[in-house]
Amino acid sequence: MNIHESEKIAGTLEDLGYSMCESTEDADIIVFNTCCIRDNAEKRALGNIGAIKHLKKAKPGLIIAVVGCMTQQDGAGLNLRAKYPYVDIVLGTNNLFELESCIKKIKQSGNKSVLIDPNEYPQVLENEKIYRTSGCNAWLNIMYGCNNFCTYCIVPYVRGRERSRKMANIIDEFKSLLDQGYKEITLLGQNVNSYGHDLSDGSNFATLLEKISQINGKYRVRFMTSHPKDLNREVIDIIAQSSNICNNIHLPIQSGSNKILKLMNRHYTREYYLDTVEAIKSKIPDCGITTDLMVGFPYEEEQDFEDTLDIVRRVKYSSAFTFIYSIRKGTKAAQMPQISPQVSKERITRLIAEQNKVTKELSKGYEGKSYEILCEDNAPKKDGYVCGRTDSGRMVTFKGDKSLIGSFVNVTIEKSQSASLFGKITEEE
Ligand code: 5AD
Ligand code: SF4
């Protein structure tokens, strides 16, 4: 979501005549697109804003803007202005479209802008300028905001309530991306499965996926993120039936303990979650399932953590994002008794080790088999090699020229090393 928002910021700047430069020293404008989902993301953003103070002294005409969800927290806009007076523009998540007018204003009159209004959620914007940076992959927003209020999460406070784009506009953007040559399109939303609930035309995620999958052409569709309480059987069936929709579902469970899930306000139990996973595996046997896991949530005891480990062993995720819970001011969980950081650190180490075991075991299962790969990029630090993903989302490195980037190739997996798969092209399509 943040990468795509940065693409929109870059699109606005490009439209104003700016072009990308290599170093901050060369820049005429620097825009920090911040995130406040966890404490370390926020600290990093503040550290980066602090680190360019000297540039403004050396080049007074330099424009510095801070945007994104960090600025949208209570009082954050004014705090930023007080602590970092050299910042010229502060914008929230829902009024990024004002960037253009703020830049013009500062150039014309030197007037700084702090424009945050967390209570006003404008209509969904269409026809945004986008400077795409992800090769043959493109991101496509289908909705904004979240209504769920998980007790640990700041997102509903800083991004507002759910707003869905009209299906016709999404389809138009999708077709235009295919016309521009993009091969893989990832549908984005905080909770894609509630797409359409706020529209009065009967649209929902299942019908959107079905309509998209009927568009002519050779392409892949991914989507994120699915809330386990909302991922229904209809969506699973459509994925199973469609060759364009990747067999890959990101299904954040957060915790394997019913006690913790209730405290988190997640609205599902481990049994309900495992039932959904069972339905996915029976309908889509090769589906890559990934997740987000959190340790150290208030009241988490050893048994609760063991329940999370048990889920990792049962589901066999192809990969997992693992986080230590961090307090977000203004959320319900911030009022709950916090557990010791040492306990959280010890648990995350054990959790990562458990997931690594699963990933290694799954990787072995890929050896000797052939997969269709969308060649996406040069392999990092490996001259003469390229990389791309299987339909299920696993990254594979193989020998090949960069001219293959953007095309589909068949690759046989020769060897695996923990999470990495290495193969050789058996056939180009
Ligand atoms: N602390 C730690 N992790 C969090 N996430 C969201 N809020 C917090 C928090 N306060 C994680 C969740 C979510 C992912 C995007 O970030 O696992 O799924
Ligand atoms: Fe945050 Fe929960 Fe919404 Fe995800 S579903 S963005 S975790 S409140």
Structure confidence by residue, pLDDT tens digits, 119-149? 566 678 899 999 999 999 999 999 999 999 9
Q: Is the CB of 294 under 6 A from ligand 2?
A: no
The torsion defined by the Cα of 364, 365, 366 and 370, in degrees rounded to 10, comes to: 140
Show contacts of 73-76: CB within 8 Å, 24+ apart.
Answer: 73/36, 73/154, 73/157, 73/158, 73/329, 73/330, 74/118, 74/329, 74/330, 76/36, 76/116
Does the structure show a pLDDT above 80 at 75? yes
Give residue 317 CA to ligand 2 midpoint distance, Å: 20
Does the pLDDT of residue 344 top 90, yes or no? yes
Atom of ligand 1 nearest to the CA of 294: 17
Question: Ligand 1: distance of its center to the CA of 322 in Å?
Answer: 9
What would the pLDDT profile of 370-390 be if each residue is shown by its tens digit? Answer: 999 999 999 998 899 999 999
Give the pLDDT band (50/70/90) at residue 73: confident
Can you give the length of the chain in residues?
Answer: 429
> So what's the pLDDT on residue 67?
94
Question: Cβ(45)–Cβ(34) under 8 Å?
Answer: yes
- Ligand 2 mutation pick, 69, 148, 158, max ligand atoms within 8 A of CB: 148
The answer to whether 232 touches 273, Cβ cutoff 8 Å, is: no
Cβ neighbours of residue 85 under 8 Å, at least 6 residues apart?
Answer: none
Task: List all residues 6 or more positions away from 336 whose beta carbon is below 8 Å from its beta carbon.
Answer: 151, 263, 298, 299
Task: Report pLDDT digits (tens) over 149-158.
Answer: 999 999 999 9
Atom of ligand 2 nearest to the CA of 191: 5
CA 188 to centroid of ligand 2, rounded, Å: 13
Q: What is the mean pLDDT of the chain?
A: 94
Helix-helix angle 270-283:302-315, to 10 degrees: 10
Tens digit of pLDDT for each residue in 268-312?
999 999 999 999 999 999 999 999 999 999 999 999 999 999 999
Q: Which ligand is nearest to the CA of 294?
A: 1
Per-residue model confidence as pLDDT tens digits over 4-60: 999 999 999 999 999 999 999 999 999 999 999 999 999 999 999 999 999 999 998
Mutational test site, ligand 1, from 266, 294, 308, max ligand atoms within 8 Å of CB = 294
Q: Is the pLDDT of residue 118 over 80?
A: no
Q: Which range is least confidently modeled, 31-40, 181-190, 390-399?
A: 31-40
pLDDT at 150: 98
Is the pLDDT at 77 greater than 90? The verdict is no
CA 267 to chain centre: 22
State if residue 153 touches ligand 2 by the CB under 6 angstroms criterion: yes
